[in-house]
């Protein structure tokens, strides 16, 4: 065991066999359309066109509209009565809207047609539309489709659906190219550019070359094939992982790179696969680990022994709970997740204290009752609940920020802890 990681009393199985609490009722979560808000920043030459209702358009702009855009890279094709009444051929209409859009934005190289609840319910075949539009606009623009509807996807699952849609189009590895005859590493899931650069640097110091997916530019898609080994950087990528496996890639099971422990074991999964010597691994990771440990200590003072309650939001809850419990000494009251993917979560679950209350899905009123009853020191929840809970005297951390902030890797460990200690510090300050 590394001396710098304060690991609590070891349990043998942790929560591996946990039966989550499942209650079905009102779910206070975002739909997958919200993924557009960070995906459009990551893939800079892509445009996201939602095919949906005014509600869908309103959702995206309410979330992103505080930024003032000279040229937004997302929009909505709003279905109207004429489309529903069959007076207008919906496919012709869509073609027209896409033409209008591409004329306005000739710099767009990739266009996503994003399905919504209304488009799913009226069974509008967007994959057919994407194929057709692809033929028209290729090679200037590639047209793809995925669904971000609320009936099918919850928040971050929108990214999963988007990346899974990209996988079939990834170039194949070419066995003729010498560099592609050996196993290659791919890191999957949107990461902040700064995090990407750090992780790449660490891996390269171990002589592992790595590709990131999604890339920053739609023209630079990584190749995939039987020699691909992939690490998931995000926990919500079930369909993407499956699609990659269908193309022969192998998943390296690991924890997620949150906190020192999570990052170390995540890197270790790659190191083992690529035959990196323990000595080299230690040499590369020692300094950043130490740095991170030092930085974390400040926040631990604030978080130690505090009781935390997670409402479901992004599927990041379990890895976050693991980090806060094992590295920050927080007590877990309830860990809610919108969806529990046991296989991808296996390494994480094993590290949670046995008996942790894990819930999957939600009945928000009942969950609020539990939360009020439990009186946790901190509640992680969405913005629909945060201010109302604060007004009741609870300290909250709004969950969405965890998706918008660089939190992975060693250098961000303290920033991650800081996201949780800040609301507590603020409450102290304002009370003083």
Q: Between residues 154 and 234, which has the closer beta carbon with respect to ligand SF4?
A: 154
Segment 140 to 159, residues that bind another protein, using CB under 8 A: 149-152, 154
Q: Between residues 65 and 169, which has the closer beta carbon with respect to another protein?
A: 65
Residue 385 in contact with ligand SF4, rule: CB under 6 A:
no
Distance CA 49, CA 406 (A): 26
Question: Cα separations (Å) of 72 from 9, 37, 45, 61, 65?
Answer: 50, 10, 11, 10, 10
94 binds, among another protein, ligand SF4, none (CB under 5 to 8 A by kind): another protein
Q: Between residues 281 and 310, which has the closer beta carbon with respect to another protein?
A: 310
Of positions 15, 29, 31, 333, contacts ligand SF4 by CB under 6 A: 31
Residue 75 in contact with ligand SF4, rule: CB under 6 A:
no
Residue 33 in contact with ligand SF4, rule: CB under 6 A:
yes
> How crowded is residue 393: how many other Cβ atoms within 10 Å of its Cβ?
8
Binding mask 90-129 for ligand SF4 (x = CB under 6 A): --------------------------xxx-----------
The site that binds another protein (CB under 8 A) totals a number of residues, namely 65
Of positions 28, 160, 317, 327, contacts another protein by CB under 8 A: 28
Residue 68 in contact with another protein, rule: CB under 8 A:
yes
Residue 66 in contact with ligand SF4, rule: CB under 6 A:
yes
Segment 85 to 114, residues that bind another protein, using CB under 8 A: 88, 90, 93-94, 96-97, 100-101, 104
Residue 52 in contact with ligand SF4, rule: CB under 6 A:
yes
Q: Between residues 29 and 332, which has the closer beta carbon with respect to another protein?
A: 29
Residue 21 in contact with another protein, rule: CB under 8 A:
no
Residue 395 in contact with another protein, rule: CB under 8 A:
no
Of positions 2, 11, 16, 61, contacts another protein by CB under 8 A: 61
Residue 65 in contact with another protein, rule: CB under 8 A:
yes
> How crowded is residue 90: how many other Cβ atoms within 10 Å of its Cβ?
19
Residue numbers at the binding site for ligand SF4 (CB under 6 A): 31, 33, 52-53, 55-56, 59, 63, 66, 116-118, 149-150
Residue numbers at the binding site for another protein (CB under 8 A): 25-34, 51, 53-55, 57-59, 61-63, 65-66, 68-72, 75-81, 83-84, 88, 90, 93-94, 96-97, 100-101, 104, 117-118, 120-122, 149-152, 154, 365, 382-388, 390-391
């Amino acid at each position: 065991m590394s001396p710098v990681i304060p690991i609590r009393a070891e349990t043998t199985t942790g929560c591996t066999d946990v039966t989550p609490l499942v209650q079905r009722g009102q779910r206070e979560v975002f739909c997958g359309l919200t993924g557009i808000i960070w995906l459009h920043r990551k893939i800079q030459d892509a445009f996201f066109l939602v095919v949906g209702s005014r509600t869908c358009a309103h959702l995206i702009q309410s979330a992103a509209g505080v930024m003032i855009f000279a040229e937004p890279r997302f929009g909505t094709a709003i279905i109207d009565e004429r489309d529903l009444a069959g007076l207008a051929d919906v496919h012709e209409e869509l073609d027209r809207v896409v033409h209008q859009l591409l004329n306005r934005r000739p710099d767009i190289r990739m266009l996503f047609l994003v399905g919504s609840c209304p488009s799913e319910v009226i069974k509008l075949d967007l994959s057919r539309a994407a194929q057709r539009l692809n033929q028209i606009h290729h090679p200037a623009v590639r047209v793809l489709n995925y669904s971000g509807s609320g009936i099918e996807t919850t928040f971050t699952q929108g990214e999963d659906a988007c990346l899974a849609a990209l996988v079939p189009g990834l170039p194949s590895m070419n066995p003729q190219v010498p560099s592609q005859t050996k196993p290659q590493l791919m890191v999957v899931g949107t990461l902040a550019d700064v995090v990407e650069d750090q992780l790449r640097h660490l891996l390269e110091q171990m002589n592992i070359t790595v590709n990131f997916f999604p890339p920053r530019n739609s023209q630079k898609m990584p190749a995939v094939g039987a020699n691909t080994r992939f690490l998931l950087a995000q926990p919500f990528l079930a369909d993407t992982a499956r699609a990659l496996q269908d193309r022969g890639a192998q998943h390296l099971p690991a924890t997620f790179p949150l906190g020192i422990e999570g990052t170390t074991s995540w890197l270790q999964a790659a190191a083992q696969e690529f035959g990196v010597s323990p000595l080299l691994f230690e040499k590369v990771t020692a300094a950043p680990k130490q740095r991170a440990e030092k930085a974390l200590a400040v926040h631990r003072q604030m978080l130690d022994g505090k009781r935390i309650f997670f409402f479901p939001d992004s599927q990041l809850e379990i890895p976050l709970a693991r980090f806060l419990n094992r590295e920050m000494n927080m007590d877990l009251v309830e860990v809610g997740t919108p969806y529990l993917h046991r296989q991808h979560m296996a390494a994480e679950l094993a590290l949670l204290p046995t008996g942790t209350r894990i819930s999957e899905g939600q009945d928000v009123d009942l969950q609020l009752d539990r939360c009020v009853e439990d009186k946790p020191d901190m509640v992680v929840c969405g913005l629909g609940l945060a201010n109302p809970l604060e007004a009741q005297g609870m300290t909250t951390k709004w969950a969405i920020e965890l998706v918008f902030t660089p939190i992975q890797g060693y250098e961000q460990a303290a920033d991650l802890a800081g996201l949780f200690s800040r609301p507590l510090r603020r409450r102290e300050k304002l009370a003083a």
